[in-house]
Amino acid sequence: MSMPIAFYICLTLILFIFSGTDGYFYHRLAQCRFSSKDLHGIELIDSYVFNKAEYVRFNSTVGRYVGYTEYGVKNAKAWNSDAGILGQEQAELERVCKTGAAIDYSNILDKTVEPHVRLSSVTPPSGRHPAMLMCSAYDFYPKPIRVTWLRDGREVKSDVTSTEELANGDWYYQIHSHLEYTPKSGEKISCMVEHISLTEPMMYHWDPSLPEAERNKIAIGASGLVLGTILALAGLIYYKKKSSGVL
Ligand SMILES: *[C@@H]1O[C@H](CO)[C@@H](O)[C@H](O)[C@H]1NC(C)=O
């Protein structure tokens, strides 16, 4: 559930050189790589790339440049013999990476956002059981979460399938867990969600009486009926009063 994560701060310098229809593409990419709040092992990788091929790179853990082409090796040799250049790169680790990572933790990485959970009945795949429930958790952060099923208070492990935590692409995640089952009268089925944003596990109990969509339709229909009746009565009273000459 808790996998090591790496975050990158990328600073990119891009230079295009066009000559006729052929183009050349030079770019320089600086990455800050870190995976824990104590910034243990934080690393600056400064890459020089020509036409998609990285030819020389500074790795702050190594403290030197490494060349990958003849030209890159030549540059690495020259820059590695210059204490000023090496010192500048190492200073960037402090100035850019450590400062930036601390800001990332306080602004994003330390934040937690509660999931919105929906429990619904879905069509089971033709299989051993006639019914299937889906417990969906939406828009939570960070990624680790635990979604489990309880039947009369006891955890069910069989006939349960779940997606991975799916990235929405906007920092939030969603997950969907399915339980295939054969309904028994009087039993209580619940979906339990555990997440760092919650002080205690959240329980969602399945109400087999009517699916939520049906209940909503009935609620909307009933509201419409009440509103319609009130308007009709008001209209009738108005009409009566008017025709009897009171107004
Ligand atoms: C940087 O160098 C260290 C030490 O050799 C290595 O463990 C690490 O993987 C390197 N980082 C990258 C991104 O290549």
pLDDT for 230-244, tens place per residue? Answer: 999 999 999 998 888
pLDDT at position 201: 97
* Residue nearest atom 3 in ligand 1 by C-alpha distance: 61
* Selection from 56, 65, 6 nearest residue 31 by Cα: 6
Domains 5-109 and 116-209 share a fold: no
pLDDT at position 2: 39
Query: Which ligand 1 atom lies nearest to the CA of residue 45?
Result: 13
* Residue nearest atom 14 in ligand 1 by C-alpha distance: 59
* Residue nearest atom 7 in ligand 1 by C-alpha distance: 61
* Residue nearest atom 6 in ligand 1 by C-alpha distance: 61
Domain ranges of the chain: 5-109, 116-209
Interval between CA 204 and ligand 1 midpoint (Å): 46
* Residue nearest atom 8 in ligand 1 by C-alpha distance: 61
Angle at alpha carbon of residue 17, lines to 55 and 77, rounded to 5°: 25
Interval between CA 58 and ligand 1 midpoint (Å): 10
Query: Which ligand 1 atom lies nearest to the CA of residue 60?
Result: 1
Interval between CA 45 and ligand 1 midpoint (Å): 9
> According to CATH, what is the number of the domain 116-209?
2.60.40.10
How far, in Å, CA of 80 to CA of 88, rounded?
12
Taking the CB of residue 149, how many other CB atoms lie within 10 A of it? 23
Taking a C-beta distance cutoff of 8 angstroms, is the pair 216, 233 a contact? no
Pocket lining: 32 vs ligand 1, CB cutoff 6 Å: no
What class, spelled out in words, does domain 5-109 have in CATH?
alpha beta
What's this model's pTM, rounded to 2 decimal places? 0.65
Pocket lining: 59 vs ligand 1, CB cutoff 6 Å: yes
Pocket perturbation via mutation, ligand 1, pick of 42, 59, 65, 66 by most ligand atoms within 8 A of CB: 59
pLDDT at position 208: 81
pLDDT at position 165: 98
Pocket lining: 80 vs ligand 1, CB cutoff 6 Å: no
pLDDT in tens, 172-216: 999 999 999 999 988 999 999 999 999 999 999 998 876 667 778
Segments in the chain below pLDDT 70: 1-21, 210-212, 246-247
Interval between CA 28 and ligand 1 midpoint (Å): 18
pLDDT at position 16: 59
Pocket lining: 45 vs ligand 1, CB cutoff 6 Å: yes
